[in-house]
Amino acid sequence: MTLTRKLLVALSVIGVIALGFFREFIFIHINEQLFALWYDEPSRASDWIPFIKSVDYYTLYRSKWFLTVFFAGLFYGAILLVLRQIFDRWYWKELGVIYGVLILAAAVALGAGYVLSNDLEPYYLAARFFMGIAQSPLLLMIMVPGIWLRRVGE
């Protein structure tokens, strides 16, 4: 691997990590604004995110669902590009299956909560856990050694 390619891989990995921090920043401040709106307290949410302080509670709450899907899609694409940089091959099927399983597990958890219980919190936490994995660099950290081990064994 050439120095230029190593640098590109390193920058790509840093980009995925930075995306994780950016996503976290957005959601922390949305949650802060939701808290302030719900309890009628002053908001400590960042002014760097203009839409947060200009919408009502339920609009902001629903935006989290959209942003969850949006960031999961961004991570899918970013991880796919990093894997392409490292291994010279697209792993869209493998990564797609993993994302499909995570999304299905989250949907089943929420569905089970609605059908089986009056207390949705444990089911919501499970769904949030699965979608949290889909919106993080964790899959990249698992896929790189997994693909490398598979290729070494071939």
Mean pLDDT of 116-128: 92
Q: Whole-angstrom Cα distance, residue 37 to residue 30?
A: 11
Burial code (b: 16+ CB inside 10 Å, e: under 16) for 22-44 equals ebeebbebbeebbebbeeeeeee
Give this prediction's pTM. 0.92
Alpha helices in 39-137 (DSSP H): 57-87, 92-116, 121-134
Residue 30: its pLDDT value, please?
96
- Residue range of the domain that includes 85: 3-153
Q: How sure is the predictor about 118, in pLDDT bands with cuts at 50, 70 and 90? A: confident
Kindly tell me if the per-residue pLDDT of 1 is higher than 80: no
Q: Whole-angstrom Cα distance, residue 92 to residue 98?
A: 10
Burial class (CB in 10 A: 0-12, 13-18, 19+), 9: middle
* Residue 72 tokens, joined: 């999961």
Pick from 17, 114, 120, 26: which is nearest to 66 by CA? Answer: 26
pLDDT in tens, 49-104: 888 999 999 999 999 999 999 999 999 999 999 999 999 999 999 999 999 999 99
Considering its fold, how many domains does the chain have in total?
1
Question: What letter would DSSP give residue 43?
Answer: -
pLDDT in tens, 14-55: 999 999 999 999 999 999 999 999 999 999 999 898 889 999
Kindly tell me if the per-residue pLDDT of 154 is higher than 80: no
